[in-house]
Amino acid sequence: MSRKEDKSPLRIALAGLGTVGTGTLQLLKAQDAILAQRCGRPLQVVAVADLDCKRDRGVDMAGIACYDDALKMIAEVDADVVVELIGGSDGIAKAVCEAALDGGRHVVTANKALIAHHGLVLAQKAEKAGTVLAFEAAVAGGIPIIKALREGLVGNNFTRITGILNGTCNYILTNMRQTGKEFAIVLDEAQKLGYAEADPSFDVDGVDAAHKLAILTSVAFGCKIDFGAVHMEGIRNISARDIALAGELGYRIKLFGITSRTEDGVEQRVHPCLVPLDAPLAHVEDVFNAVEVEGDYVGRSTYEGRGAGDHPTASAVIADIADIARGLRLSAFGVPVADLAEIPTQPMENHCGAYYLRFTVKDAPGVLAAIATELAGEGISLASMIQHDRAKGPSGSVSIVLTTHETIEASMSRALAKIAVLDTVTEPPMLIRIQGE
């Protein structure tokens, strides 16, 4: 780490004036005096790029050059830092970061997809140029989790990180529990409120959380990013019935991103979990994110805050800009890219844990015995059971809910495949993993 005393303004070129870009511009203007004091030098926006530069952003744009071409801005403007807030893993966002680094500029980005797919290449460019690639805002919005891992907890070896990393999913699951409404209805409401995109796939299918988890894994364990190794499931199949049944059993359902380091390698997974009610993450609601870190010296620490939105994410963007202004120079992933380890990935079939299982079956003798026989055949032992009364309607089906003791995922998959084809099973079995202590 090196520090350079410099009282001249830090010149900033900002690419992208969407929600986060506008929030960043507003924060820089509103907090200019306190930022100059805390950073030891002024932070000056010298240029912005956006397809619609003329739209009113609620900020005085006097003295700021405006471009409708971000690459042209980089080529023409004398800036110390380029802030990329365009989004997307490729295309113009990637080109902007590459051009800035190749030109010897520092880069700050909130682009989790870009870092998850191209972070190592961009970090190498930054190292070659002697500049900074910073992405605090790419993970968990306003929560300074990257700084916590790289700086505040630098003296620890990390064993596990567990996070609620997507505010849209957390909002939907919270609302489903509170109202009893089904997923599709709550998703539609979330879209109307602006909490979910018109195409919500990246959020509700777990992609967004997986991008963030891949970044956290690299920073925490000092290994190369491997987004393709993240096991990924979303929340589309979670029903109001499952949420209610989980409550009866003493759990809440959350979409978790979990990365853990063992002697055998790294396990990275994003999927819904049953979380015990006495766990702190069970009570993180609505659009909030939270990250729980386990280190060998610090033990378990939890960080909670808004995971998205203009001002929370802008706050994280400014944290990176402030570090650059102060002369702080850290490797993007905590260590140089050449020192990042190749750590084996543990496939999901090797995962060991407890499970919630829901079966919709005909109300007939011997059904439970047949299910239990298939589970026992794979060495799976049961922890609890709930059997509800016959459902209304001509089908006469009933729900059987079982929880299991810890078992291997491969064994569970084989057992469910056999159960699914039983004549008495009327719907595909539902599986949700139970998050242990």
Report the C-alpha gap between 435 and 251 in whole angstroms.
10
Other residues' Cβ atoms within 10 Å of the Cβ of residue 54: 8
Nearest to residue 170, comparing CAs of 289, 85, 17?
A: 289
Report the C-alpha gap between 1 and 12 in whole angstroms.
22
pLDDT score of 323: 97
Domain segments of the chain: what residues? 10-138, 145-303, 349-434
Report the C-alpha gap between 274 and 346 in whole angstroms.
22
Report the C-alpha gap between 432 and 413 in whole angstroms.
12
The owner of tokens 């690419």 is 15
8-state DSSP, 350: G
Report the greatest alpha carbon distance in the chain. 81
pLDDT score of 437: 61
pLDDT score of 389: 60
Report the C-alpha gap between 164 and 166 in whole angstroms.
6
Classify residue 379 as exposed, middle or buried by CB count within 10 Å of its CB (0-12, 13-18, 19+).
Answer: exposed
Q: Which CATH number does 10-138 carry? A: 3.40.50.720
- Residue 194's φ and ψ, nearest 5 degrees, are 85, 10
Q: pLDDT tens for residues 298-323?
A: 999 999 999 888 899 999 999 999 99
List per-residue pLDDT tens for the chain, 437 residues long. Answer: 444 566 899 999 999 999 999 999 999 999 999 999 999 999 999 999 998 877 878 888 888 999 999 999 999 999 999 999 999 998 999 999 999 999 999 999 999 999 999 999 999 999 999 999 999 999 998 999 999 999 999 999 999 999 999 999 999 999 999 999 999 999 999 999 888 888 999 999 999 999 999 999 999 999 999 999 999 999 999 999 999 999 999 999 999 999 999 888 999 999 999 999 999 999 999 999 999 999 999 999 999 999 888 899 999 999 999 999 999 999 999 999 999 999 999 999 999 999 999 999 998 889 999 999 999 999 999 999 988 765 544 467 888 999 999 999 999 999 999 999 999 999 999 999 999 76
CATH of 145-303 given 3.90.420.10, 1.10.10.60, 3.30.360.10, 3.30.1360.70 = 3.30.360.10
Q: Residues 408, 350: contact at Cβ < 8 Å?
A: yes
CATH of 349-434 given 3.10.20.740, 3.30.360.10, 3.40.190.10, 3.30.70.260 = 3.30.70.260
Tokens representing 213? 């988890």
pTM for this one? 0.94
296: left (phi over 0), alpha (psi -120 to 50) or beta: alpha
Report the C-alpha gap between 274 and 282 in whole angstroms.
9
Query: Would you call 254 a catalytic residue per the annotation?
Result: no
| Sign of torsion over alpha carbons 345, 346, 347, 348 | negative
Report the C-alpha gap between 295 and 110 in whole angstroms.
26
Out of 181, 212, 254, 362, pick the active-site residue: 212
The owner of tokens 């805002």 is 137
> Considering just the CA atoms, what is the radius of gyration of the chain in Å?
24
